[in-house]
Structure 1
Amino acid sequence: MYFRVAIIITALTLSACSSWVFRYDVPQGNYLEQKSIDKLQVGMTKEQVKFILGSPVVVDAFNDDTWSYVYKLKSGRSKDFDIKKQFIINFSDDKLISAAGNFKLSDKFNTPFNTTAVTEELDNTNKANLDQNTSVKHKVTSGK
């Protein structure tokens, strides 16, 4: 009888030491995608960059012109699956001047961002929408 109990206790004790214990993946920081990085261009303001990438994890206390986006995934399976990525952005006079990290910058990154072209494009789009709305109102009011 004691022999059976000893075998059962030994079996349970050894099974508790197995590597089959489930562990969660633990993500920390800003998860960035390449398509977001591709939207960045030199000359963008801090607000525009924050809109595209989100708030940075770290802003240097002594130099608020350097933003750090850090992402770390600690895998529950094995250290072989751990991921660590960082992306550091530098500003001068509230304008994006450089970026570096584990992501590839797009070909248009060094093309200065032109806010007037974007504003003109938005104005043209709004004007076209206004023209469409006006023609719809005329059709509705005329009863046709």
Structure 2
Amino acid sequence: MKLTQLLIVIAMILSTSACKNWIYRIDVPQGNYLDDRDVKKLRISMTKEQVIYVLGRPVVEDSFDEDTWYYIYEMKRGMSKRGEDFKKDLIISFEDGKLITVEGDFELSEDFNVPLDA
């Protein structure tokens, strides 16, 4: 009798573990999604308002340094068959209210060093 109960329990455990891919798990995006086309619109000497117009407000503004903005985007995949988890960062620095440097996981335009008003 105990052997049949044990076999039933083992069969139930194995059958439910095979169903784990049936459960739908959503992707969880967090932060600022930035498109490559928008990042390529950035130019040196842009004002903070112009950067906000192009990219939106940053997720993180440094409390101790008002001239450094952090755009962070992270995608946590619910299911591995939809791709891997990833994270992209963009760090923008200003001096006297003008854009001076951009660092991160995005390629800048070849015209980045040409100001808009030039």
Q: TM-score range by the shorter chain?
A: 0.7 to 0.9
Deviations, residues 24-74 of structure 1 (Å, cap 9, x unaligned): 111111110110011110111101101110110111010010000001101
2:68 pairs, out of 66, 78, 84, with 66
C-alpha distance in 2 between matches for 1:15 and 1:50: 53
Residue 15 of structure 1 aligns to a residue in which SS? helix
| Distance in structure 1 (CA, Å) of the matches to 2:75 and 2:93 | 25
The match for 1:45 is 47
Q: Secondary structure at the match of 1:52?
A: helix
Normalised TM-score (structure 1): 0.70
CA distance in 2, matches of 1:100, 1:42: 13
- Does 2:16 match 1:13? no
Give, in angstroms, the shift of residue 76 of structure 1: 1.6
* CA RMSD between the two structures: 2.4
Of the candidates 28, 34, 44, which is equivalent to residue 26 of structure 1? 28
Q: Percent identity?
A: 49
Higher strand share: 2
Structure 2 equivalent of residue 112 of structure 1? 115
Aligned partners of 1:61 and 1:42: how far apart in 2? 23
Which one has the largest radius of gyration? 1
TM-score (normalizing by structure 2): 0.84
Structure 2 residues not aligned, in runs of 5+: none
* 1:13 Cα deviation from its structure 2 partner: 2.7
Please list the CA deviations of residues 66-95 of structure 1 after superposition, one character each: whole Å capped at 9, or x if unmatched.
000001101122396111100000001111
Alpha-carbon distance, 1:10 to partner: 3.8
Offset of 1:6 from its aligned partner?
6.3
Q: How many residues align?
A: 114
Where relative contact order (Cα < 8 A, 6+ residues apart) is larger, the structure is 2
**SS in structure 1 opposite 2:26?**
coil
Find the residue that maps to 1:14 and give its secondary structure.
helix
